[in-house]
Amino acid sequence: MSAFVEPLRLVLLADTPQWSELLRERLGAVGGPLPLSCAASWADARQLLDAADDAVLLTTPAHLPDSRRCSAPIILLLEHEPADMPPQVCDWLVRDQLSADVLRRSLRYVREQGRLRLTLQRLAEQDALTGIANRQGFHTLLAARLDEQGRRGLALIQLDLDNFRQANDALGDCAGDQLIKQVVARLKQYLERGDQVARLGGDEFALLLDRHDDLERLHARVQHLLEALGEPYWVDGESLLLGCSLGVALAKPASTADALMWHAHIAMQQAKSRQGCTYHLYDERLDHGMRSQVDLQRELRRALRKGELQLHYQPRLCLHSGAIVGLEALVRWQHEAHGLLLPGEFVPLAEECGLIVPLGYWVIDRAMRDMQWLRERGHAPLHMAVNLSFRQFQDSQLLPTLERLIDSCGIDSHWLEFELTETAVMRRSDYVLQTMRRLGHLGVRFSLDDFGTGFSSFEHLSNLPIALLKIDRSFVTGMETRPQSQQLVQAMISLAHNLDLQVVAEGVETLEQLELLREFGCDQVQGYLISKAVPLPELARFLAAGVRQPLLGERL
């Protein structure tokens, strides 16, 4: 008989010793390195199977494991010919028909089928671009780990790249693939023994962390991961910043793979509602919040009809004159049950359900009427900045609606300013440029909000009709104690001035920050040091009182 060239580990799980005796006798006739190990239980059999790269389980119907628990090929040992065969079984042997030839052919067939199945399974459960597990493969892995470890010490992180789709649209699929590979490379460097990483979708990933009963250590690891992912990426010579949102869920005694992935997803959605790279630990109260989103959408529609929305205004201070020269209109929702809601708590919802367009028109109309109200009470004209979403850009009625609103309010449109994010500017940039030019004919001007958090290039910005750049608060916060942040802010201001653009720094909270920005040549600032966002009557009192002396500086 021809022998097997490669070693094959055979594991027998059966109650009766007759199968062991018969198999050893037939294997002796087959020849080759075919050791047979006997297991008294499934736990013993699993250890033997896991210890060998090329193993086969021979077992009786009474001990047959399901396919989720056993990845090795299975040969079923029977007393009679079967009427049908369980799907996880590769082949079967009948005691009275078992000869050396039958056993040899069965083992060869099972080896080939096992390798083919493993290959197909690997392809089905592996991400083609990165080689790590895909959603299907990760779900299988997670279910097995939960089953093995009794759900002790496992933490699941679900991660989403906030700006990836916009970067992919702007730079092309090849650049997007390079970004994904760089993200995976950083995630792999972060792994410890027993951890796993997977790509769940285009820009969505999962990390399974082992041995995390210590919450303090878990928080430290997650924070370290955020810092690593927040570093710039390099694609085709371009430096790109991608925000990310992380949801963290801890396995509990009743956790299943589906439940744990859903909990991590809910926590990730909560993290996405905030600005910048951040994470959120799953709280059972969030689950109820997700289920109530449909109710919240209905309530937001009602709020637009019943006047529950209001605008607060945050002043902008000119560092050259010491005067308030502009305002940013920020929408609030006075919810009858939840109190005053900030934009981050309902604007993303409005984006998702399509209410952002009517909401945006309400904000523009209210802001222009409040501009007129201030002028009628003798206040100097101020630039009124209103956030404009990309969906509003796509609205075919944007231009005629603005013309009608400007005419009905009777204001000078040159004092109206629309704030756009870098993300909005880069999506379908030719279309955005065309729309901005049409709106520019009305006399309005544009500013770029949250500058530094996206991926726009200065070459691209130089082609847009933008008057101001707003440096994101994340660069200003703590700047007085971080020399690198100071250098970055100073460079941004210098580059913006080279493009003949004014610069507004957001999030200014200390005199030290203000003095540094004045030293760097920043044009305007806004933040709690000057004033928080306030309702219109309080704004009028603030403007009447004038700017506090410490803010003016010695040179003003």
Residue 496: both structure tokens together? 């913006």
Same domain, 111 and 139: no
Same domain, 96 and 146: no
pLDDT score of 504 more than 90 = yes
For residue 464, the domain's CATH number is 3.20.20.450
Of 233, 258, 290, which residue is a domain's last?
290
The residue with greater pLDDT, 211 or 44, is 44
Q: Is 530 helix (H, G, I), strand (E, B) or coil?
A: coil
Same domain, 346 and 481: yes
CA 324 to the chain's CA centroid: 37
Same domain, 419 and 490: yes
Same domain, 83 and 169: no
pLDDT score of 52 more than 80 = no
pLDDT score of 431 more than 80 = no
pLDDT score of 459 more than 60 = no
Average of pLDDT values for 257-264? Answer: 88
Range name among 210-214, 337-341, 421-425, 455-459 with the lowest pLDDT average: 455-459
pLDDT of residue 517: 95
Q: Is residue 4 part of a domain?
A: no
Of 124, 152, 169, which residue is a domain's last?
124
220 CB neighbour count, 10 Å cutoff: 11
pLDDT of residue 1: 40
Q: Is 511 helix (H, G, I), strand (E, B) or coil?
A: helix
Same domain, 102 and 147: no
Q: Is residue 556 part of a domain?
A: no
Q: Is residue 396 part of a domain?
A: yes
Range name among 83-97, 136-150, 171-185, 373-387 with the lowest pLDDT average: 136-150
196 CB neighbour count, 10 Å cutoff: 18
Mean pLDDT of the chain: 83
Q: Is residue 78 part of a domain?
A: yes
Q: Is residue 119 part of a domain?
A: yes
| Total domain count, the chain | 3
Q: Which amino acid is at 484?
A: Q
Integer Cα distance of 404 and 408 in angstroms: 6
Same domain, 97 and 155: no
Quick one: 364 exposed, middle or buried, by C-beta within 10 A (0-12, 13-18, 19+)?
buried
Integer Cα distance of 1 and 9 in angstroms: 19
Average of pLDDT values for 184-192? Answer: 89
pLDDT of residue 299: 85
Same domain, 148 and 210: yes
**Helices 284-291/293-306 angle, 10° precision:** 60
Sheet holding 244-250, edge to edge: 196-199, 204-209, 155-161, 244-250, 278-281
pLDDT score of 288 more than 70 = no
The stretches of 67-214 forming alpha helices (DSSP H) are: 100-124, 135-149, 164-171, 173-190
Q: Is residue 2 part of a domain?
A: no
pLDDT score of 548 more than 70 = no
Of 95, 124, 153, which residue is a domain's last?
124
Q: Is 12 helix (H, G, I), strand (E, B) or coil?
A: strand
The confidence band for 104, taking pLDDT boundaries of 50, 70 and 90, is confident
Same domain, 264 and 317: no
Residue 41: both structure tokens together? 């239980």
Please state whether beta strands 524-525 and 502-505 pair in parallel, antiparallel, or not at all (unpaired).
parallel
Same domain, 90 and 200: no
Average of pLDDT values for 458-474? Answer: 80
pLDDT score of 272 more than 50 = yes
Q: What is the CA radius of gyration of the chain?
A: 32
Same domain, 63 and 155: no
For residue 106, the domain's CATH number is 3.40.50.2300
Q: Is residue 1 part of a domain?
A: no
Q: Is residue 391 part of a domain?
A: yes
Domain hosting 454: range is 310-546
For residue 251, the domain's CATH number is 3.30.70.270
